[in-house]
Amino acid sequence: MSQKIVLPETLSLQGYDHLLVAFSGGMDSAVLLHMLAGLRETRGITLRAVHIHHGISRYADDWQQHCQQVCDELGVPLLIRKVTLHTEGRGTEAAAREARYAAFSELLQAGEALVTAHHQDDQCETLLLALKRGSGPAGLSAMPPVLRFCSEVLIRPLLSFTRQQLAAYAAHHQLQWVEDDSNQDPAYDRNFLRLQILPQLEQRWPHFTAAVTRSAELCGEQEALLDELLRPELAHLLTHENALPVAPLAGFSAVKRAAVLRRWLMHCGAPMPSRDALARLWREVALSRDDANPRLSLGEGELRRYDQHLWWVRVTAGQRQTHLHWADRHTPLPLPAGLGCLATAEQGIKLRRPAADEQLSVRFSVQGKLYIVGRDRGRSLKKIWQECGVPPWRREITPILFYNDEPVCAPGVFVTRYADPKDLPDSHCWWLNWTGRA
């Protein structure tokens, strides 16, 4: 094919000029990094590269050294991140990808885009793998050229180029790259397609890869249209805590309900469920008995129903036995299990100041009755959680502040009479804030 097609000037960077390039050292990423390095003056872009050392291959150290040499020659700063793979219950490919993108998310800076070297052949392989899994239009839309990633974006500027075009560019510029020995192992699904299936399909139908890419783009367009049509309705249904009411969903057709549920889960940051999991969500969670406490695992979270709403909640270990001493309330107190921290603030929960002989601590359970502001008699903590509408999964991860052994407050839920600031001047009070909660 004409090399004029593969010109750095044709790359779409989606308006971003601060880029973090995923650089494996293979041909695809070598071409991408070389192209972007050539655009620094004309486009005014700033480049960094990151190499992930998976530690799988015996050549991993050599690949790292090669990547450093290439980046030194191009004048591109290189970050090296060594990762540990967790393969429990999944294959090496999936574990490596998860570790890789976790590292990318940690290294990506504000205002910076992650750039990967996925190309048209990768797109074709991704769609065929989605077909193998029985995916719907969302899965068949494969890889979009731009995707939200963490709080920034991931862009794929090479999606319109074939592997042959990238090889021609690499040969023309005499680029050097490493060859991953695992790429020749057909035991991996993607390698099986690349080595044995796609060559036969291309031999029979020379434009097969381009046609598959068009199909992926059309599926993506249909999904984008559904997103646009359903976004206002979903926004109207959601509570401020992203819970979804069951009653309106019951009036939808099964097809529309499934589409809304998928977009709700995507909005919550949950993984996309299979068709069977979606059916179980509706049957076993949404339609379960009123007195049931249904739950369905999905990714790192659970699908729950509470107060006639559906929730997707991240699984967090209960902290019932945890007891934290807060030596200085002017210094933020980190909470365990990613539950954020407690801190003195200029606004928040207003409390009377502790006396000089009152030590502060944080616990996650209380014995006996609590006498809280706004209630005429004592109640157990379990009863207060119920009356205040605190879902069951939050009851052992909501911190409770104590003065010595007297419970004072659960931020956002209650304040006890013991620390009631009523009728006290501000000089005798302080404000508590719970930030970064799970």
Q: Which residues are annotated as a binding site for ATP?
A: 24-29
φ, ψ (nearest 5 deg) of residue 266: -65, -40
Beta-sheet pairing, 146-149 with 323-326: unpaired
Ramachandran angles phi, psi of 94, nearest 5°:
-65, -40
With 0-12 / 13-18 / 19 or more C-beta atoms within 10 angstroms meaning exposed / middle / buried, residue 219 is buried
Residue 236: other Cβ atoms inside 10 A: 8
| Selection from 152, 52, 154, 51 nearest residue 109 by Cα | 152
Question: What CA–CA distance (Å, rounded) separates 159 from 117?
Answer: 8
Contact criterion met (CB below 8 Å) for 159 and 118 = yes
Annotated binding site: 24-29
Give the sign of the dihedral formed by CA 348, CA 352, CA 356, CA 361: negative
Q: What is the DSSP letter of 350?
A: E
Structure tokens of 16?
């971003």
**How do beta strands 349-352 and 429-435 pair?**
antiparallel
| Residue 44 contacts residue 17 (beta carbons within 8 Å) | yes
Region label for 340, one of left (φ > 0), alpha (ψ between -120 and 50) or beta (otherwise): left
Quickly list H helices, 156-245: 163-172, 189-192, 198-204, 208-237
Q: Are 49 and 40 in contact (CB under 8 A)?
A: no
Helix axes 254-268, 208-237, angle to 10 degrees: 90
**Residue 338 and residue 319: Cα distance in Å, rounded?**
11
287 alpha carbon, distance to own chain's centre:
28
For the chain, the first-to-last Cα distance in angstroms comes to: 52
DSSP conformation letters of 141-163: T---SEEEETTEEEE-TTTTS-H
One-letter identity of residue 295:
R
Which 3 state secondary structure label does DSSP give 143? Answer: coil
